[in-house]
Amino acid sequence: MPRLDADIVIGGEGLLAAVSAAALAEEGFAVSWIGGEDPPRWGGPGPIAIAPAGRALLERYRLWPGSPPEGQAVQRMRVWDAGGRISFSAAELAVPELARIVDGVRLFECALAAARARVVAEANRIVAVEPGPDAVRLVLADGRSRLARLLLACDGADSPLRRLIGIPTLERAYGASALSFRVRSRLPHDATAFQRFLPGGPIALLPLADGASQVVWTRPEPVARALNALKPEALARAATEASEECLGALEIEGACRFLPLRMRLAEGFAAERVALLGDAAHQVHPLAGQGANLGLLDLAWLIAVLARARRRGLDLGSRAVLARYAQNRRSAAGLAALAFDGLERLFSSAEGPLVQLRRMGLSLVDRIPPLKRWLAHEAMGWSAWPAELPVSGGGP
Ligand SMILES: Cc1cc2nc3c(=O)[nH]c(=O)nc-3n(C[C@H](O)[C@H](O)[C@H](O)COP(=O)(O)OP(=O)(O)OC[C@H]3O[C@@H](n4cnc5c(N)ncnc54)[C@H](O)[C@@H]3O)c2cc1C
């Protein structure tokens, strides 16, 4: 067999590509990273909620930016709609925090710097994927090629690599977009994340370290466009009203980002000598702030599976090895994607039997501590954490 260029080639240039490159190299795999642009850029939202399990993975590979404490800890969460409410607190659950809101750009830059120090990276595009019995050949846009045991596709929700290898997706266009912007509020956020469900989509206020909050507001497409066209003062008034003044009057700081939403779930998370990871495998509704966290759990599983294969002397890109990753993550992330999709439907409808169910639901769950604990454990990411991957402190 011709000489391999790497054990694993990573294709893509977003957060998950950078984190995967740095972490897999740290685990001792020979990694090569083929990103589309130089320098790669962060395409995600500004601040991002990272769950404790995701943070544990980032810290394990020295990818958590700055010296602690980075970002803003979320100590409390309040969720409500017209008929009911539920609240969570770190103290009640006996955990240090529910999540941490960090600057997505800083997170990406930290992972990017580590990846560049640890792996060979090149700005190029993969235009053909040719799997063989011992290795996969990747043909690049400039006509050269690379040979590896495994290709990891981390090229985002539109994933050209997923299309190239022909993995179909389940899709649902929400017909809605998220507006994301920073606000100063009259009342202090007190380390609390707020989410109000409204017909048409939720509005969330995430606490930031400097006392401001980040609003992520989902609205049906035409309404979102109209809101996006408003002057900042008018948008601030609309957001204050939509959030039922949970933080008092809001004032907008900086620009508003407009992000169209859709659910996409790959029918399989692996093919011959290829694994999908992050949004390339699953794009979920942002209402639970879990998209990147699911990608980090994909990576935790992939590392556990590949490390075990290496200990046993198995081929890293073989069907049996990839099947373990794909089956586990397809069912866990698939369930999460469908659950968020179901929540979106449940809370978006303004009338019908779902409204009654929803009314009973929130307040009822709030009164059942074991169910609340289970929900919080799920949201913190620990239930999907692979037992073979030890983490320091906390953990499952
Ligand atoms: C409004 C909103 C709020 C969110 N909030 C949260 C949150 O609080 N917590 C959370 O966990 N998640 C959140 N998410 C989700 C999170 O942003 C994504 O899940 C995450 O960015 C996915 O990372 P990724 O690396 O898989 O994909 P991406 O970030 O999309 O990166 C993939 C990159 O690959 C590039 N690419 C495409 N084609 C090629 C090619 N041929 N070659 C090379 N590169 C290519 C793309 O341009 C892109 O830059 C939110 C999303 C939205 C829209």
Condensed to tens digits (0 to 9), the pLDDT of residues 329-346 reads: 998 888 888 777 777 776
For residues 281 and 16, what is the distance between their CA atoms, to the nearest angstrom?
11
- Note the pTM of the prediction, 2 decimals: 0.93
Distance 43 CA to ligand 1 centre (A): 6
For residues 193 and 184, what is the distance between their CA atoms, to the nearest angstrom?
14
Q: Is the CB of 103 under 6 A from ligand 1?
A: no
Are residues 247 and 274 part of one domain?
no
| Count of residues in the chain | 396
Q: Where are the alpha helices (DSSP H) in 254-390?
A: 291-311, 319-348, 353-366, 369-379
What confidence score (pLDDT) does residue 350 get?
62
pLDDT confidence of 62, banded at 50, 70, 90? very high
Q: Is the CB of 180 under 6 A from ligand 1?
A: yes
Specify the 3-state DSSP secondary structure of 94: coil
β-strands 192-198, 76-80: how paired? parallel
- Which of 78-82, 120-124, 371-375, 387-391 is predicted most confidently? 120-124
Are residues 125 and 36 part of one domain?
yes
Q: Is the CB of 278 under 6 A from ligand 1?
A: yes
With b meaning 16 or more CB within 10 Å and e meaning fewer, what string describes 333-365? bbebbbebbebbeebbeeeeeebeebeebbeeb
Which residues lie across from 265 on neighbouring strands?
Answer: 170, 282
CB neighbourhood size of 191 (10 A): 18
Which element (helix H / strand E) includes 232? helix 232-242
248 located within any domain: yes
Are residues 151 and 43 part of one domain?
yes
User: What residues make up the domain containing 189?
Assistant: 176-262
- For the CA of 101, the closest atom of ligand 1 is 8
Are residues 281 and 342 part of one domain?
yes
96 located within any domain: no
Burial class (CB in 10 A: 0-12, 13-18, 19+), 43: middle
Q: Angle at Cα 213 formed by Cα 212 and Cα 218, nearest 5°? A: 155
Alpha carbon separation from 309 to 81, 136, 305, 330 (Å, rounded): 48, 18, 6, 19
What confidence score (pLDDT) does residue 71 get?
92
- For the CA of 292, the closest atom of ligand 1 is 11
Are residues 130 and 15 part of one domain?
yes
395 located within any domain: no
Q: Is the CB of 259 under 6 A from ligand 1?
A: yes
Q: Report which of 73, 50, 64 is spatially closest to residue 110, judged by C-alpha positions.
A: 64
Q: Is the CB of 44 under 6 A from ligand 1?
A: yes
Q: Is the CB of 289 under 6 A from ligand 1?
A: yes
Q: Is the CB of 10 under 6 A from ligand 1?
A: no
Q: CATH no. for residue 59? A: 3.50.50.60
- For the CA of 49, the closest atom of ligand 1 is 8
For residues 286 and 225, what is the distance between their CA atoms, to the nearest angstrom?
18
Distance 15 CA to ligand 1 centre (A): 7
Distance 221 CA to ligand 1 centre (A): 20
What confidence score (pLDDT) does residue 211 get?
96
1 located within any domain: no
Q: CATH no. for residue 189? A: 3.30.9.10
Q: Are the CB atoms for 286 and 180 separated by under 8 Å?
A: no
For residues 136 and 12, what is the distance between their CA atoms, to the nearest angstrom?
17
Are residues 248 and 273 part of one domain?
no
pLDDT tens digits for range 2-49:
799 999 999 998 999 999 999 999 999 999 999 867 777 776 668 999
78 located within any domain: no
Q: Is the CB of 23 under 6 A from ligand 1?
A: no
87 located within any domain: no
Are residues 152 and 21 part of one domain?
yes
User: Considering only CA atoms, which residue is closest to atom 38 of ligand 1?
Assistant: 155
Distance 251 CA to ligand 1 centre (A): 28
Q: Report which of 384, 366, 316 is spatially closest to residue 92, judged by C-alpha positions.
A: 366
Q: Report which of 316, 296, 318, 297 is spatially closest to residue 308, judged by C-alpha positions.
A: 316
Distance 111 CA to ligand 1 centre (A): 14
pLDDT tens digits for range 164-173:
999 999 998 8
Are residues 353 and 281 part of one domain?
yes
Domain end position, chosen among 214, 245, 262:
262
Q: Is the CB of 127 under 6 A from ligand 1?
A: no
For residues 33 and 3, what is the distance between their CA atoms, to the nearest angstrom?
18
Are residues 258 and 166 part of one domain?
no
Count of structural domains, the chain: 2
What confidence score (pLDDT) does residue 358 get?
65
- Which of 43-47, 256-260, 387-391 is predicted most confidently? 256-260
Domain end position, chosen among 243, 262, 281:
262
Are residues 337 and 198 part of one domain?
no
Mutation choice for ligand 1 from 10, 15, 100, 218, CB with most ligand atoms inside 8 A:
15
Q: Is the CB of 178 under 6 A from ligand 1?
A: yes
Domain end position, chosen among 262, 290, 322:
262
First to last CA, the chain: 42
Taken in order 363, 331, 301, 42, the sign of the CA dihedral is negative
Q: Report which of 324, 319, 318 is spatially closest to residue 304, judged by C-alpha positions.
A: 324
Distance 362 CA to ligand 1 centre (A): 30
Which element (helix H / strand E) includes 226? helix 221-228
Q: What percent of the chain shows pLDDT beyond 70? A: 92
Q: What are phi and psi of 47, to 5 degrees?
A: -70, 150
Distance 284 CA to ligand 1 centre (A): 11
If one compares 66 and 172, the residue with the highest pLDDT of the two is: 172
pLDDT tens digits for range 76-132:
999 998 778 888 999 998 999 999 999 998 899 999 999 999 999 999 999 999 999
Distance 292 CA to ligand 1 centre (A): 7
pLDDT confidence of 391, banded at 50, 70, 90? confident
246 located within any domain: yes
For residues 285 and 240, what is the distance between their CA atoms, to the nearest angstrom?
23
For residues 6 and 102, what is the distance between their CA atoms, to the nearest angstrom?
32
Specify the 3-state DSSP secondary structure of 170: strand
Are residues 180 and 216 part of one domain?
yes
Are residues 122 and 20 part of one domain?
yes
Distance 291 CA to ligand 1 centre (A): 8
In the Cβ-directed half-sphere of 223, how many Cα atoms lie within 13 Å? 12
What confidence score (pLDDT) does residue 378 get?
81
Distance 379 CA to ligand 1 centre (A): 19
Q: Are the CB atoms for 103 and 71 separated by under 8 Å?
A: yes
82 located within any domain: no
- For the CA of 206, the closest atom of ligand 1 is 8
Distance 104 CA to ligand 1 centre (A): 10
